[in-house]
């Protein structure tokens, strides 16, 4: 039972017998992960795969270490994951990621020349969302 009072000081609402546990979902009725959550997990796996390939390439090009482009492999992975995740997600790729397109992108990264002036994976045609997203 709830009661309210309106006075010059404002509105006062008082509900007797209502507490936080009564507003919590009943056991077994919690929301289950939806398609978007499943796709985001899959997209994160793709982002990690791409970041690993790119950081492998950066390592081969001597761009990881003190005084290099990336101070450590962890920094490389973090930066490339962040950049890539902005492009490859459930919003930009609602149908998911195409495995064939991903394999072509990974091959292109491995064959890329060292010290390319652009610092994003999407500079490679085969790694752009248009090539990676299922249409």
pLDDT tens for 47-75 read 999 999 999 999 999 999 999 999 999 99
Q: What are 83-125's pLDDT values in tens digits?
A: 888 888 778 888 888 899 999 999 999 988 887 665 556 567 8
For residue 130, pLDDT over 60 is answered with: yes
Of the candidates 20, 78, 27, 71, the residue with the CA atom closest to the CA atom of residue 48 = 78
Rounded CA gap, 12 and 17, in Å?
Answer: 16
For residue 126, pLDDT over 80 is answered with: yes
Q: Provide the pLDDT for residue 48.
A: 93
Calculated CA dihedral for residues 61, 53, 36, 21, nearest 10 degrees = -80
Q: What is the band of 38 on the pLDDT scale with cuts at 50, 70, 90?
A: low
Rounded CA gap, 135 and 126, in Å?
Answer: 15
Environment class of 20 (CB within 10 Å of its CB; exposed 0-12, middle 13-18, buried 19+): exposed
Q: Provide the pLDDT for residue 8.
A: 44
14 with 3: CB under 8 angstroms?
A: yes
Q: Provide the pLDDT for residue 20.
A: 43
Task: Give me the half-sphere count of Cα atoms (radius 13 Å) on the Cβ side of residue 67.
Answer: 0
Percentages helix, strand, coil for the chain (3-state, rounded to 5) are 50, 10, 40
């Amino acid at each position: 039972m709830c009661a309210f009072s309106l006075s010059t000081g404002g509105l006062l609402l008082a509900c007797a017998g209502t507490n936080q546990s009564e507003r919590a979902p009943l056991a077994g009725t919690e929301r289950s992960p939806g398609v978007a959550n499943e796709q985001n997990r899959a997209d994160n796996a793709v982002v990690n795969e791409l970041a690993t390939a790119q950081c492998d390439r950066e390592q081969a090009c001597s761009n990881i270490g003190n005084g290099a482009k990336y101070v450590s492999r962890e920094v490389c992975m973090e930066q490339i994951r962040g950049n890539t995740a902005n492009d490859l997600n459930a919003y930009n790729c609602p149908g998911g990621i195409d495995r064939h397109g991903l394999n072509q992108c990974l091959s292109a990264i491995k064959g890329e020349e060292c010290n390319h002036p652009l610092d994003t994976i999407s500079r490679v045609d085969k790694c752009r969302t248009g090539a990676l997203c299922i249409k």
